[in-house]
Structure 1
Amino acid sequence: MNGKAILENVRRYRAIASLYRQTAAFRPHQRLSLLEQAHAWEDRALAELEAHFTLGESKVSPLQTWMVQAASWPMLNAA
C-alpha cells in the first residue's frame, strides 16, 4: 500500500473516532462504550502508521498487524 493510501486510511479512522467522541457528548448513558470505540479507532490509526513505517516492504500488511493487536482488546471482542 502506498503512502497516500495509508494517510487516507488514517484520516478516515480518526474521523470515525471523532464521530464516536461527538456522539458520546450527547449520549451520557452510552458514553463509556462510545469513548472506548473512539479509542479503538485511534489505536487502529496509530497501528496503520506504525506498520507502514516499521515494516517497510515486508509481507505483513498493516491490517494484519492491527488484527493481532485487536485480539488483545477485551472490550472490543466482547461487543
Structure 2
Amino acid sequence: MTGSAILENVRRYRAIASLCRQAAAFSPLQRVSLLTQADEWEQRAVSEIEEYFDAQDSPIPARPSGNVN
C-alpha cells in the first residue's frame, strides 16, 4: 500500500473518531459507547501509521550476489 493511501485511511479513521466524539456530546445515553468507538477508530489510525513507519524503518534485504554461468 502506498504512503498516500495509508495517510488517506488515517484521515478517514480520524474523521470517524471525531464524528463519534461530536455525537457523544449530543447523546448522553450513548456517550460511553460513542467515546469507546472513537477510541477504537483513533487506535486503528495510530496502528496504521505505526505499521507504515515500521515498514519504512526496516532494512531492505540485500539481493543475493551470485554469478550466473
Identity over aligned pairs, percent: 67
Structure number with the bigger relative contact order (C-alpha 8 A, sep ≥ 6) is 2
Deviation at 1:55, TM superposition (A): 2.6
Structure 1 residue runs of 4+, over 4 Å off?
Answer: none
Deviation at 1:43, TM superposition (A): 0.2
Normalised by the size of structure 2, how large is the TM-score?
A: 0.79
- Are residues 1:46 and 2:36 paired? no
The structure whose Rg is larger is 2
Q: What is aligned with 1:55?
A: 55
Normalised by the size of structure 1, how large is the TM-score?
A: 0.69
Q: What is aligned with 2:5?
A: 5
| Structure 2 residue ranges without an equivalent (≥5) | 59-69
| Structure 1 residue ranges without an equivalent (≥5) | 59-79
Structure (1/2) with the larger helix percentage: 1
RMSD of Structure 2 on Structure 1 (CA): 1.5
